[in-house]
Amino acid sequence: MTGPASIRIEDGVLDALKYVSRRPIEPTLDNDLVADLGFDSLQVLELVAELEDRFEISIPLDNLPATRTVAQVVAEVVRLVGERTTG
Amino acid sequence: MAASRTLPEALAGAARTDAGYCFVSGDTDRWRSYADIRLASLRVARSLHEAGLRRGDLVALVLPDGEHFLVSLFGASLAGATPASLYPPPAIGELSRYVELTAAILRASGARAVVTTRVLAPSFDRARRGCPELSLVLCHDDLDATALEPDVWPALDDIAFVQFTSGSTSTPKGVALTHANLSANIDAFGGPSAVATSTDDIGVSWLPLNHDMGLVGMALGALYAGRPCVLLPPQAFVKRPAAWLRAITRHRATVSFAPDFAYDLCVRRVNDLDGLDLSSWRVAGCGAEPIHPPTLAAFSRKFAASGFRDTSFLPCYGLAEHVVAATVAPLGRRPRIEQISADELTARRVAVPHVGDGRSIPLASCGSALPGHQLRIAGEDGRPLPERHVGEILLAGPSVMRGYYKEPTLTAETIREGWLHTGDLGYLSQGELFVCGRAKDLIIVNGRKYHPQDLEWAVDGLDGVRRGRVVAFGAVRSGGADRVVIVVEPTGTVPPGVLTDAIRREIGDLFGLYVDDVALVRSGTVGRTTSGKVQRAATRTRYERGELEDETLKASARD
């Protein structure tokens, strides 16, 4: 998926990050969830729930350990939204 | 009160009842009777025996799934081995670093086997090179030999299991509990003077089973009494806190325990109260971390409309070294709160009710010692202090652990003349315990305790950090989780910004924890002559007074 749909997803993910964070943040795609944005494992799960609600997807927790950056989160959501609309 | 019994005896007793565990996954409930659980455990026991494990061998369990964990724990116990629980990998973070950390515990404790998942097994297999005594890496689903009744039963004074609370240092802290310890604590805690459970009670828990409140407080407590318990995966709760309250509603549950942060999470994140009915919830236990009275008040306010009663709250105090619970507030009473003058508390170490101006702290009573157990508040000279004087909480009685596994020196420092030195600070008021601080260097975030030496160990190995010049501590903040602070002397070879990121990443990977502040300080700030404990206290004091700040600023200015 490219174009407007993936940009909407990117905006949605950035907004979800700000919503879940307990301190003011201005996330960018290359930010690391832990080192840059200060997410602990609790907040990562909170983010997962928030993204599932916003995009009506189900995010498998097995993929989380490999997910480090905002760009990876966006890519995962793009993929799952794609599966939902085509599947 | 029931007679003392070992874990295999309690399991056999429970298997004769109709009760069992209910494992929740999503919105699906799956009941397994204790008889079924026992049968599965006997298969594990037989498999472990056939694999060559013998009486007293340490079997480490690294199993995130609740059912797999319990069946493997019971199986190892039935086989006469000593099961040990370890933290499963954090939700985020590099698996390789987690395995490295866990392998250090396996090595130091001399574990003979690790039982884990198919995903983790290859990593542990590779880690065996560094662990000479670790001869077996087993997948839980391969442990399916034909069930046979055990021919040897453990004695009450044998170790029932070891709970590792610490990670990476050369001396991992494994709390070793005997069957007698377990039985005494479970019976006193469930007895008429504490939670007063009956076979009509239904427990619900999402607590991790590698943690004392989840394993003993909820899962084993139910098993020993032959009453049902509903278990949710911890991640299901953290992801959607409403899942906990929905399970209580669905099962008409009466008993459920959680740390303060869980009640706070419900206040903040449960938005849809439709269909929630918490009127069956007789005992809403709160423990495992400092209790913030405003959290309890906010929870009562929010969920009163769903039938929750604030008289259900049961503040408790306890620690793994005392099995789980040490004190418990009276049943059916609204939490007893004291508003204490903060200045008097820090300056004179006396808890004086707050009047007029100045800062004050609300504290909740954690009640009095369990029947058959003793509690004392001691001054620095070890002598008991009068009421309202703040001192270290000491505990004695049948729940005091056997010791730290294979750590006689550490054990002798912690248990002196029969008294367990908890490292927590508190005072007594009308005979009830109020917990108000920590003498030990523990960092507590979301109900989990982190040892600063583990964090220091992790950071000490990084590029750009002067060896041995790392101090980690938790800056205690009233009304919230500790702030995690790491003070480091940099070598100057790595740019400060890069070093700060690397430190956060490392701690995030290993512990799933965020470092609130990384302070890079001039060399010589963190001396290495004295003990870690002295060093930490001195550095924390200077940090809290703002004396370290200049060095940090200089470091970032060079960035």
Query: How confident is the prediction for chain B on average, in pLDDT?
Result: 90
Give the mean pLDDT of B186-202.
96
Check CB contact under 8 Å for A35 and B505: yes
- Lowest-pLDDT range of B88-92, B151-155, B247-251, B373-377: B88-92
- Look-up: residue for tokens 């594990």? B44
User: Which one-letter DSSP state was computed for residue B170?
Assistant: S
Nearest Cα residue in chain A from B269: A46
Whether A65 and B239 lie within 8 Å, measured CB to CB:
no
Report the DSSP pairing between strands B82-85 and B113-116.
unpaired
Average pLDDT for B352-370: 91
Q: What is the mean pLDDT of residues B528-534?
A: 60
A83 touches chain B (CB under 8 A): no
Q: Which of B274-278, B310-314, B476-480 has the lowest mean pLDDT?
A: B476-480
- A 4-43 residues inside an 8 A Cβ radius of B: 32-36, 38-42
In this prediction, residues A29-53 reach a mean pLDDT of 88
Please answer yes or no on whether A32 and B505 come within 8 Å at the CB atom.
yes
Inter-chain CB proximity A44 and B91 less than 8 Å: yes
| CB contact (8 A) between residue B92 and residue A64 | yes
Q: What pLDDT score does B559 carry? A: 43
Q: What is the pLDDT of residue B478?
A: 65
Q: Kindly identify which residue of chain B lies nearest to residue A46, measuring between CA atoms.
A: B239
Pick the most confident of A60-74, B114-128, B302-316: B302-316
Residue type, B408: P
CB half-sphere exposure, B175, CA atoms < 13 A: 24
Residues of B in contact with A33 (CB under 8 A): 92, 508
Q: Which residue in the set A45, A65, A67 is minimally distant from B95, CB to CB?
A: A65
- Contact yes or no for A49 and B94 at CB 8 A: no
Q: What is the mean pLDDT of residues B501-524?
A: 87
What ipTM was estimated for this complex? 0.83
Output the CA–CA distances (angstroms, integers) from residue B520 to A31, B48, B462, B486, B558, in the order listed.
22, 49, 14, 8, 11
Q: If you measure CA to CA, which chain A residue comes closest to B517?
A: A38
Is A40 in Cβ contact with B445 (below 8 Å)? yes
- Taking residues B21-48, what's their average pLDDT? 96
The DSSP bridge pattern shows strands B368-369 and B325-328 to be antiparallel
3-class state of residue B428 by DSSP: strand
With contacts defined as CB-CB under 8 Å, which chain A residues touch B508? 33-35, 39-40
Cα–Cα distance between B114 and B58 in angstroms, integer?
9
- Kindly state the average pLDDT of the residues B355-372: 91
pLDDT of residue B479: 62
Can you read off the two tokens belonging to residue B243? 């899942």
Q: Are B317 and B335 in contact (CB under 8 A)?
A: no
Judge whether B338 and B289 are in contact, CB under 8 Å: no
Of the candidates A49, A65, A67, which has its C-beta nearest B240's C-beta? A49
Nearest CA in chain B to A36: B501
pLDDT digits (tens, 9 = 90+) for B37-51: 999 999 999 999 999
What was the pLDDT predicted at B457?
83
Q: Does the structure show a pLDDT above 70 at B551?
A: no
Inform me whether the pLDDT recorded for B247 exceeds 90: yes
Average model confidence (pLDDT) for chain A? Answer: 86
Residues belonging to chain B with any Cβ–Cβ distance to chain A shorter than 8 Å: 89-95, 119, 235, 238-240, 269, 445-446, 501-502, 504-505, 508-509, 512-514, 516
If you measure CA to CA, which chain A residue comes closest to B64?
A62
What is residue B550's predicted lDDT score, i.e. its pLDDT? Answer: 57
Nearest CA in chain A to B237: A45
Position B507 pLDDT exceeds 80: yes
**Nearest by CB to A65, which of B92, B240, B502?**
B92
* Mutation choice for A interface testing from B25, B87, B92 by most A CBs within 10 A: B92
Using a CB-CB cut-off of 8 Å, the residues of chain A touching B89 are 65
Task: State the first-to-last Cα distance of chain A, in angstroms, to the nearest integer.
Answer: 14
Q: Which one of B95, B239, B513 has the shortest CB-CB distance to A45?
A: B239
* B556 pLDDT more than 70: no
Partners of B516 on chain A (C-beta within 8 Å) are 38
Spatial neighbors of B330 by CB under 8 A, at least 6 apart, are B367
Least confident of B162-166, B306-310, B465-469, B550-554: B550-554
**Nearest CA of chain B to the CA of A43: how many Å?**
8
Instruction: Tell me the DSSP string of B232-271.
Output: --HHHHHH-THHHHHHHHHHT--EEEE-HHHHHHHHHH--
Confidence of residue B531 (pLDDT cuts 50, 70, 90): low
Q: What is the pLDDT of residue B533?
A: 64
* Confidence at B557, pLDDT banded by 50, 70, 90: very low
| Residue A83, pLDDT score | 87
Binning pLDDT at 50, 70 and 90, where does residue B558 land?
Answer: very low
Residues contacting residue B264 through CB under 8 Å, at least 6 positions apart: B292, B295, B298, B299
Chain B residues with CB-CB distance to A62 below 8 A: 119
pLDDT at position B93 is 67
What integer is the mean pLDDT of B485-491? 92
Mean pLDDT of B318-342: 95
Q: Which of A23, A33, A37, A45 to mutate to test the interface with B (most CBs of B within 10 A)?
A: A45
Q: Lowest mean pLDDT: which of A31-45, B7-21, B271-285, B422-436?
A: A31-45
Task: Please state, in angstroms and as integers, the Cα–Cα distance from residue B137 to each residue in B121, B145, B165, B173, B425, following that order.
Answer: 6, 17, 21, 22, 41
Region A50-74 average pLDDT:
86
Q: Cα distance from B354 to chain A (closest Cα, Å)?
A: 31
Residue range B350-361: mean pLDDT, rounded: 87
Per-residue model confidence as pLDDT tens digits over B97-107: 788 888 888 99
Q: What percent of chain A shows pLDDT beyond 90? A: 46
Phi, psi dihedrals of residue B20, rounded to the nearest 5°? -175, -170
CA atoms within 13 A on the CB side of B128: 15
Given B89, B501, B513, which is nearest A40 (Cβ)? B513
Least confident of B136-140, B380-384, B391-395, B454-458: B454-458
Q: Which residue has the higher pLDDT, B144 or B524?
A: B144
pLDDT in tens, B384-406: 999 999 999 999 999 999 999 99
Residue of A nearest to B94 (CA): A65
Which residue in the set B235, B504, B513 is minimally distant from A45, CB to CB? B235
Of the two residues B180 and B501, the one the predictor is more confident about is B180
Cα–Cα distances in Å, from B158 out to B9, B167, B280? 13, 24, 38
Evaluated on CA atoms B551, B554, B556, B559, the torsion sign reads negative
| Residue B162 Cα, gap to closest chain A Cα (Å) | 25
Whether residue B530 has pLDDT greater than 60 = no
Least confident of A43-57, B94-108, B486-500: B94-108
| Angstroms from B3 CA to nearest CA on chain A | 41
State whether the Cα torsion B369-B423-B363-B242 is positive or negative.
Answer: negative
- A–B CB contacts, 8 A cutoff, strictly below: 64
Q: Note the pLDDT of residue B83.
A: 98
In DSSP terms, B471 is beta-bridged to: B487
For B126-136, b/e burial (b = at least 16 CB within 10 A) is ebbeebeebeb
